[in-house]
A and B are shown apart, each in its own frame.
Chain A
């Protein structure tokens, strides 16, 4: 049985001020296997974030159903950790309090909480910033904290919505390696939304390409590059071949999207 089962899920946003309803996501079927790292690649406004928000339970599908481990998703919950593109650390809490937020909500005792938080801060290299407030940290550090905060909660699946979208290229590359390193150790199921082709290939064991609005999955590729992956893999022939192919797929959609607007 698959980890995440998506069946006939669509989302139509109702019309505003006498306009036409927006079909953000066409009826979609999708199965995600346990321990897979799946990236969803698509041009902006193609409904890839909508799909992720539906899985998170932050939005309700117009049709269809979503099952995680066979249980229907009806609302947000700690079994589906999420990292957002915007910086969503709680500004009034320190870095370690942020990472411990979900555990405290679960009622995990202080001592156990501290040790879990400590471990995760170490894994993202932020031990020395435990007592800082989010605004004192750079964007990359804040997103590392956000990843630690989601994972410290022990979710079944990790959802990431363009988490590195606002970072500069160098920081973004380092963050990809950090996330990949964590995933190679933890082997959590990951659903990662991005519009960056290189990022999608480098991280994923499976890439889904979404079409321009109304969004649907138009291509489904396995990435057979072996793990653990080193950043030098980005210059390998297999990588370049995949990149060329995906560039074509995405370009066609970007052209369609540009014409539609």
Chain B
């Protein structure tokens, strides 16, 4: 038996370096338990399987498993508040709010065991990157916008020292703290890392050099890291930036993370079963092919998810990695099936914006989300609107009403511009959205 302190650091670490055969066996053990628990404790899954005339023990092969229906973001919203919980609320120690693709609330529950596991997954990712008890991890997230960020703090604390000035603290003060406390690791969003790099460049222009920083690496998420930003961090600071991946409806971060070999994001396959399917047909895609990531939780206690469609389009590589791990690797997320985008780390759904616009001002004719990007990262959002039929209310009052509603609902400052319908640009691959890379400052 271990002490609880030891357990926090080591639990969940066991499957990381298993051979494929042993890992597959462990996955089968845990999948059977998950199906059993979901069937007996979650009415949603029970009625689904009953409708198919299937009981958990009928799932004998991979093919049987792939015959089970997908769980979607809409299912989670439909069964809000706790229709998908597998344990009584008194056993839930953490509730996390996410949003469905159509903007409805989803609440994910975690038992003590779930939160311990989540933390241990992040600890494992940290350890893999060489973060240890002598490191000072500066965690700089906006916690209200990225609730999973707390796990960075907890994981860093479990390993050693943590500094947690929120991202709402200015980049200048972040740098001062970084210097004064000799932070060795920065955990932040890619957008914030970019902002920090800009601030360093400004300081440099005023004659202050970077040499007094002690950073040895950055851990960035939840958005993918643009290669140009990674290169900039490497060339200016001489340090690597690693990405972490997660799914808001499960654990984010912690589901997968980059290894020192930079060969993709290793999935924690001992706790999650990953599939890649065609986003339209749902058919399995072969290794290397692009498709939607579908995840089944293998260890989640409070909120088990079976064949959950994440909406993230990735490619998978199952070949052994030079870093020594045998776990499957994901490419960075290439796009979203639901067109969700991210502006300064805040997720924005064009469909949700459309619904908010229609609710706020039904007379609106058409609109575009104009996303200003830097290094490919969403940096600013303008909503161009063709206001349509003239109504009694003044144009400026209509625009102000829309702007304040969007700001309130999205948690993001938005500029709202009235344009004539012919000035609305052609939308790209993302629904009603146009991306424009900003010029370097």
- Does B associate with A? no
B residues at A contact (CB < 8 Å): none
